[in-house]
Amino acid sequence: MTDQRLRVVVVGGGYAGTVAANHLRLSADLDITLVNPRPMFVERIRLHQFVAGTGSATVDYGTLLGDGIQLVVDTAERIDMSDRKVVLASGAVLGYDYLIYAVGSTGTPPAAVPGAVEFAYPIAEFEHAERLQHALGELHPDAPVVVVGAGLTGIETASELAEQGRRVTLVCGGVLGPSLSAAGRRSVAKWLRRLGVEVRETAVVEAVAPGAVRLIDGSELRSAVTVWTAGFGVPDLAARSGLSTDALGRLLTDETLTGIDDPHIVAAGDAAAPSGRPLRMSCQAAGPLGVQAANTVLARIAGTEPAVIDQAFVGQCVSLGRKHATFQLARFDDTPINLALGGRVAAWVKEAVCKATVWGIRREAAKPGSNPWLKGGKRTERLAHEAVTVS
């Protein structure tokens, strides 16, 4: 290594971080290090399959990372802006010239709900899913399972388990599929009924106990295993490092994904909050944000002005077991339209999307700069309009 080679550390090896690391190879003059707490890539969008025993959810990094990228299996404990270094849990220290913050998101039961932390099983991370898979494996097939949270993760988990013959109750807390349109919710509800899932749409959890879930109306649901999918958070690395974050802990950036505290720190994925208005947590957003974060770093190294976020969405695809799904169409700005495709065709689309996500990472590793994404979300124009409206 020569003194002329700049060091870029990518913290987090999920969808955004892995794509970002591969895209940085557009420059041959960088030393790129990817820091991740696990030695394998986790397909988070398949964790419900892993839990139900209908598929795997990990991929060997050796098949995903381009030549020259160093993978460090460790956990970042602190980012030191002043000295530009990352302190790892092992005690090792990595210096950097630029850092891409891509720690992703997580989900744990809230301490405010009595018994949730002690007795409910989250599913947002691979270790969570392993623990849940083991717990389900010890159950009698007829034992009741309660899934709390009716976002896409809760719907997919409930469906996957029900298709395997489990007796599943889905506690929605208000609305089934709140990010979907009325047509999307009808499609999801239809397939949940066919799978035998009992949907408690307006039910709200008051407490979780061994063998039961208590609702705020005073009733109880028998539950041999309670799965908690309601709500997401982000790791607190940015906050612990003294960086500016939003209320959830996402790193605050400008519209080029550059941290507001330091131009040498760029964020991507679920843990980024550009202009305090983050995109929806999803791999659909994470991959393109990884590319854009890498482009921002490359632009700053080249002394040019980084581009602002330009990303469009096409919809949301929620699996309902292995045979059915619902594909919710959306406008480019990610707002759903009242049109959804359901059934086997949607299931094929969902599986194609999951496979294409990994394929896209591999393609970026083989040919940096080849990962396309849909543009035209007109985010900056929308934010400007909202700012004028508010003022």
CATH number listed for the domain at residues 116-228: 3.50.50.60
pLDDT tens, the chain, 391 aa long: 445 799 999 999 999 999 999 999 999 999 999 999 999 999 999 999 999 999 999 999 999 999 999 999 999 999 999 999 999 999 999 999 999 999 999 988 999 999 999 999 999 999 999 999 999 999 999 999 999 999 999 999 999 999 999 999 999 999 999 999 999 999 999 999 999 999 999 999 999 999 999 999 999 999 999 999 998 899 999 999 999 999 999 999 999 999 999 999 999 999 999 999 999 999 999 999 999 999 999 999 999 999 999 989 999 999 999 999 999 999 999 999 999 999 999 999 999 999 999 999 999 999 999 877 778 766 765 665 454 444 4
Q: Which of 231, 170, 220, 156 is nearest to 198 (CA)?
A: 170
Q: Domain 6-106+233-384 maps to which CATH number in 3.40.50.1980, 3.50.50.100, 3.30.470.10, 1.10.10.10?
A: 3.50.50.100
Query: How far is it, in rounded angstroms, from Cα 171 to Cα 228?
Result: 10
Instruction: List CB contacts of 355: < 8 A, sequence separation 6 or more.
Output: none
pTM: 0.94
Domain ranges in the chain with CATH number 3.50.50.60: 116-228
Alpha-carbon distance 180 to 136, whole Å?
29
Kindly compute the dihedral angle of the four CA atoms of residues 223, 226, 230, 234, in this order, to the nearest 10 degrees.
170
Q: Report in angstroms the alpha-carbon separations of 183 from 121, 154, 328.
A: 30, 18, 8
All CATH 3.50.50.100 domain ranges in the chain, comma separated: 6-106+233-384
Say which residue the tokens 């997580």 belong to.
106
Torsion of CA 329, 332, 336, 337, to 10 degrees: -70
